[in-house]
Amino acid sequence: MSVFDQTQPYDALLVQEVSPRDGLQIEPTWVETADKIALIDQLSTFGFSRIEAGSFVSPKAIPALRDGEAVFQQIARDPGVIYVALVPNLKGAERALASRADELNLVMSASQTHNRANMRMSCEASLAAFGDIVRHVHAGDSTHDGAVAKSVTLNASVATAFGCPFEGAIEEDRVIAIVDAYLETGIQGITLADTTGMANPRQVARLVRRTLERLPSNALTLHFHNTRGLGLANVLAAYEAGARRFDAALGGLGGCPFAPGASGNICTEDLVNLCDEMGIPTGIDLARLIALSRTLPALLGHELPSQIAKAGRNADLHPVPGYVRAL
Ligand code: COA
Ligand code: ZN
């Protein structure tokens, strides 16, 4: 089915909201735990089925998210929402399980250099750590409640899958080999991440098609950053190639502090607006998203990249000026 085929109803596009994690991890201003919880609790009522609510990484690496435990323990959980936690190692997995994360998102870069910058280890060491995490989760030997741990799902992200700010182009075969290694380890979901917005639509379509030869579309997520303005073009290319799940961040927040030049994720309200205008179902309440996005500058102390929060929807019409009415 083509995105431009007017005769067929569109498949739904699933948006995973990542502003509480990817969005806040790079913010220089400390966001109070209560404000993080309020943000997640509001997002939970907008129609998202998945929210990446934080990470359990070294507090020295990402001080902005050092309150992961408090956030996960105090959010008002909607039973229809999967609350995801990013983890880099077994220690992070143990913390996430103890805090009742529903899904662990393990992250490694396709680029050795970026993995060393971000995770302070080689890709081989990251993969070995992932093996430990999978065994730990499957054994249900969480430190607190084995029954909880058993229902936890595992996703793994390939960061810098479309290019690395240190190494440049990344071989597609290498990305596919990492996907295969993840699947062999027993990980259920895969994310292909364009950490610094280097992907282009043709490249995206190729890599999505190859990845979907290995797993179903409901197990593949695309994670785009809009660093070079190609974010939504890449979404359409990925959708056309069969992808149905996408990460996005409210306001267009986001970025990896260990990737030079990183900037925001694709913006959730811009993505939902695109889908609404094209008739692609998302189940997300755009008006409420926009209203929440407009509160972010006051919380974070700066403007955000979101275009729809500034411009409003097509349907948000302006009053006709008096001089026009007088004509
Ligand atoms: N949560 C909390 N603390 C952790 C931790 C985790 N998941 N993993 C390690 N630590 C602590 C160790 O206990 C140790 O503490 P100490 O200094 O008080 O003894 C310290 O961090 C160093 O541990 P070590 O295993 O040597 O880690 P490192 O310094 O080699 O860093 C990572 C490795 C993976 C922990 C770190 O690079 C990291 O957290 N990276 C994540 C970056 C990130 O989130 N990027 C954006 C998302 S893609
Ligand atoms: Zn990201």
What does R_g of the chain's alpha carbons equal in angstroms?
19
Atom of ligand 1 nearest to the CA of 258: 45
Interval 195-210 mean pLDDT: 98
pLDDT in tens, 95-121: 999 999 999 999 999 999 999 999 999
Closest ligand, as measured to the CA of 65: 1
Point out the ligand 1 atom lying closest to the alpha carbon of residue 159. Answer: 48
| Residue 320 in this model has a pLDDT that exceeds 80 | yes
Closest ligand (CA of 258)? 1
pLDDT tier for residue 8 given thresholds of 50, 70 and 90: confident
Structural domains of the chain in order of their starting residue, each with its CATH number: 14-325 (3.20.20.70)
Residue 294 Cβ inside 6 Å of ligand 1? The answer reads no
Tens digit of each residue's pLDDT (9 = 90 or more) over 135-161: 999 887 555 554 444 589 999 999 999
Alpha helix (H) residue ranges in 99-189 = 112-119, 123-139, 146-150, 172-185
Do 116 and 138 contact (CB within 8 A), yes or no? Answer: no
282 lines ligand 1 (CB under 6 A): no
pLDDT of residue 107: 98
Contact 251, 306 (CB under 8 A): yes
Ligand nearest to the CA of 107: 1
256 has catalytic annotation = yes
d(CA 117, ligand 1 centre) in Å:
12
Tokens matching residue 290: 């926009």
What are the distances in angstroms from CA 76 to CA 51, 64, 71, 83, 323? 13, 21, 10, 11, 50
CA 36 to chain centre: 16
Q: pLDDT, tens digit, for every residue of 65-80?
A: 999 999 999 999 999 9
Is 56 close to ligand 1, i.e. is its CB under 6 Å away?
yes
Ligand 1 contact, 16 CB (< 6 A): no
Q: Which residue has its alpha carbon closest to ligand 1 atom 11?
A: 58
Q: Give the whole-number percent of the chain exceeding pLDDT 90.
A: 93
Q: CA-to-CA distance for 260 and 314, rounded, in angstroms?
A: 35
For tokens 């409420």, name the residue.
Answer: 288
Residue 25, ligand 1, Cβ within 6 A: yes
Residue 107 in contact with ligand 1 by CB distance below 6 A: yes
58 Cα: distance to centroid of ligand 1 (angstroms): 4
Helix axes 123-139 and 172-185, enclosed angle (nearest 10): 30
Q: ∠ at Cα 45 (43, 51), nearest 5°?
A: 40
Q: How far is the CA of 74 from the centre of ligand 2 (A)?
A: 25
> In this structure, which residue's CA is closest to atom 21 in ligand 1?
58
Active-site residue identified among 164, 256, 267, 275: 256
* E-state strands within the chain: 14-17, 50-55, 82-87, 103-109, 153-159, 189-194, 220-224, 245-248
The whole-angstrom separation of Cα 273 and Cα 270 is: 5
**What pTM was estimated for this model as a whole?**
0.96
